[in-house]
Structure 1
Amino acid sequence: MPRLPAGALRLLVLISLINTTGSGLWMVSSAIYLTRYAGLSITQTGLALTLTGLVCMIASAPMGYVADRLGAREVFVAGLIVQGLGTAAFVSVQNMWEYLLIGVPLAVADAAQRGAKGAVIGGAVPPEERVRTRAYLRSVTNVGIAIGSALAGVALAADNRWAYVALILGDALTYLIAAAIATRLDPIPRTAHTPGAPRLVALRDRSFLVFVLLDGLLSTHFGLFEVGLPLWIAHRTDAPTWLVAVVYLTNTTAVVLLQVRAARGTDEPKGAARAARRAGLVLLIASGLYALSGHASGLVTIALLIAGALVHVVGELWHSASGWGISFGLSPADKHGQYQGAYAIGMQLGQMLAPIVVTTLAVGWGDPGWLLLGVAFALAGAAMPPTVDWALRKRPFAPDQLPTPKLDMAAEG
């Protein structure tokens, strides 16, 4: 088996660690800064974040196409630079409209750098090592966010405008440092558009879009850790609220330690689809354990919640690995950018729907809601293998055995 290119992996790991450390700074401080110092109400903050999230989702596949055409490394670097400069500009925001004036272009830049990053991995890493690379990067992402969150805690203790401004500028700086490091990545060959051929092929690939939809449905489980489970613990169980921190720590630690191991066997589409099926079943079991915790008391409640979190994170690890294996495995060799952008739509859709879905079903309905949510996870996972089989039957070649992409020599020269 070919070894992973050490240079590319080191650079991608360093970029992710620096960038996600900045993300940790922003995630902890943004809501407080926007509502206290940037002139946005709580409702406006939620609306603005939803709108920019929607823009990012819509722009994902088109910006992935741009990365294929103009060069994945170049678009990756440009996206990081724009995000760095735009994030720094947030310190001058005074109302929601000013936020959107900056936030909408940033959402497009975010879509560009995410799709381009996927294309960089697709172009620089051997097919059998791409999922493992994604797994390493996800582990590093959790480490970076934890570091950023810890650093942000120091500034939050000061609790004044300049402390929050320092966090925002720190986040902006991490984008620019990451962009400088990304310039050291090897360039990925650009592909020329064939006259008369459709541009956004990924959005015409029905079997791939079905996979994206199923993956998006599975992705709503992330909302359980972020929103649903904290509310469930606080309002529907007798567990102490500090258990929320224990659940988060359990999840983060497991991802850091086990994501690479969990990705084994998912480097080709059929193996990845089987992992998605396992993930759906495991998430059904986790949903049942969470539901039972609402009927228990004392130490039994705590034990059920921790057991649910441990089972849940196994499903999360398999689901993440399955998405990488399927999305790379079904992508034509010259279209990784737009296919990775289209794949991101599912995750973004799941993140948008998760807060209302998990709070309404799990927290609002209780047992019936947990059951419905768990069954939905299991059905989405079970649908993955036939969907992948359908997609593979439509492809005359294995994706990485397609004819050599037509390079845009003028762009390269």
Structure 2
Amino acid sequence: MRLPTGPLRLLVLATLVNTLGNGLWMASSALFLTRSAGLSIGQTGVALTVTALVCMVASAPMGYLADRGGARGVLVAGLIALAAGTAALALVGSVWTFLLVAVPMAIADAAQRAAKGAVIAGAVPADKRVHTRAYLRSVTNVGIAAGAALAGVGLALDTRAAYLALIFGNAITYLAAAAMLSRLAPVPRSPKRADGPRLIALRDRPFLAFVALDGLLSTHFGLFEVALPLWIAHRTDAPRWLIAVLFLTNTTVVVLFQVRAARGTDEPRGAARAARRAGLALFAACALYALSGSAHHGVTIALLVAGALTHVGAELWHSASGWGISFGLAPPDAHGQYQGAYAIGMQLGQMLAPFVVTTLAVGWGGPGWIVLGAAFALAGAAMPAVVGWALRHRPFVTGPDHAATEPATA
């Protein structure tokens, strides 16, 4: 992967550094909270759910703040706040002190995520935005994988000092990413609208319909991360080491092919077609997973590998479609809040996914996989119609060579 030039170079380097730290925390957070910070397993689950809800609710308002206050400044401030909050995790000794630290961190995280989308919209030409997000997603997978590998050292030591080293390492990466991104040119602030609601994204019904469908499709991440490992371990005769192989395969394919899979999704209609392909591919993957439950030995492994490869292809198309639609349907003065609203669907889908996918796929078995696959296919099939509805209710023309005006709501 050749390192790009210009603003994208800074975005890539900052993303790589930041996600390296994210990998440190993602791999060690559960054990730190339960083995060092004094939380029970149940308290950890509840606390993480609460912070996820706070992040979701704050997404659109923080996006509005990024539009009005300047996206680069909000992005940098959010990363600095996350660095401070991460360091403060060293003081956590109960579920209440964790929430005291983690809830403000969730708000800061919502701010930097929405602001990053607005920074990309402001720093990168319209016809390169999806390519940029695809490139950054590839880099994200590299960074998280490297961070998780480094975290393995701390997990093996299993001491408080080791956990604190991982936490402070994550905090440092936030500060380093903030320093890099502060070198980007400022993104112009959006003027305050003379009348009407401030959070127009939350009143844009066609866009919210897209967010809902995208959220449904987003549950496939839980399918891969939660349901499939349980399915392999408890409902098939495949060796358990296959779980690690499939995860490594998924990460490698995303790194190598996300940019290529994003071709043709720079405008909403092309992106909607990619979402339709993603839904069909997810249906095929679910069918292959279902068949693996009644197969034996080598056939089981072959079906699971085929399902995982089909699944990651769907993942590539789904990710690219979301970027193309969310950028393409947003007016130029509201990219922050539209990116924040877009994030709500994915966050909600990922929050509900563990319960939904385990109940259907693992609990029900083969028929449950087929029901999930059919739901994915229907959501993908509906996306072109929803995007067409959204475009008909917008007086501006999306694309790299056209200015835009305020969207109408339906």
For normalisation by structure 1, the TM-score amounts to 0.96
Tell me the amino acid that sits aligned with residue 373 of structure 1: L
Contact 2:267/2:398 (CA < 8 Å) preserved in 1?
no
- Could you tell me which residue of structure 2 aligns to residue 411 of structure 1? none
User: 1:117-170 deviations in whole A, cap 9, x for unaligned?
Assistant: 000001111111000000000000000001101111112121111101100110
1:134 paired residue number: 133
* More deviation, 222-231/135-144: 222-231
Is 2:303 aligned against 1:308? no
Residues 24-59 of structure 1 show CA distances to partners (whole Å, capped at 9, x for unaligned) of 000110000100111111000000000000000000
Partner of 2:354: 355
- 1:181-330 alignment runs, 5 A limit: 181-330=180-329
**In structure 2, what is the equivalent of residue 169 of structure 1?**
168
SS at 2:263's partner residue? coil
Q: Counterpart of 1:203 in 2: which secondary structure?
A: helix
* Structure 2: distance between partners of 1:277 and 1:158: 46
Q: Is the 8 A contact 1:332 1:402 kept in 2?
A: no
CA shift at 1:180, angstroms? 0.6
- Partner SS for 1:290: helix
Runs (4 or more) in structure 1 with deviation over 4 Å come to none
C-alpha distance in 1, partners of 2:177/2:43?
A: 31
Aligned to 1:145: 144
The amino acid of 1:298's aligned partner reads H
Aligned AA (2:193): T
Deviation for aligned residue 1:312: 0.3
For 1:185, what is the secondary structure of its paired residue?
coil
Residues 242-270 of structure 1 show CA distances to partners (whole Å, capped at 9, x for unaligned) of 00001101100000000000000000000
The 3-state SS of whatever aligns with 1:23 is: helix
The residue type equivalent to 2:41 in the other structure is I
Are 2:388 and 1:389 equivalent residues in the alignment? yes
Secondary structure at 2:197's aligned position in 1? Answer: coil
Equivalents in 2 of 1:281, 1:311: separation in Å? 10
- Unaligned ranges ≥5, structure 2: none
Contact 2:23 2:146 in 1 (8 A): yes
| Structure 1 residue identity aligned to 2:112 | Q
Contact (CA 8 Å) 2:211, 2:341: kept in 1 or not? Answer: yes
Counterpart of 1:408 in structure 2 is: none
Q: CA RMSD in A?
A: 1.2
Unaligned runs of 5+ in 1: 406-413
CA contact (8 A) 1:211 1:388 kept: yes
1:50 corresponds in structure 2 to 49
Higher mean displacement: 152-161 or 12-21 = 152-161
Shift of 1:11: 0.4
Corresponding position: 1:12 with 2:11: yes
Aligned partners of 2:310 and 2:221: how far apart in 1?
A: 13
- 2:331–2:404 contact (8 Å) kept in structure 1: no
CA distance in 2, matches of 1:159, 1:5: 39
Deviation at 1:192, TM superposition (A): 1.6
Q: For residues 149 and 357 of structure 1, what CA distance do their matches in structure 2 show? A: 27
1:403 to partner: Cα distance: 4.9
Per-residue CA shift, 1:322-369, capped at 9, x if unaligned?
000000000101110000000000110011011001100000000111
Which residue of the partner structure matches residue 76 of structure 2? 77
TM-score computed with the length of structure 2 as normaliser? 0.97
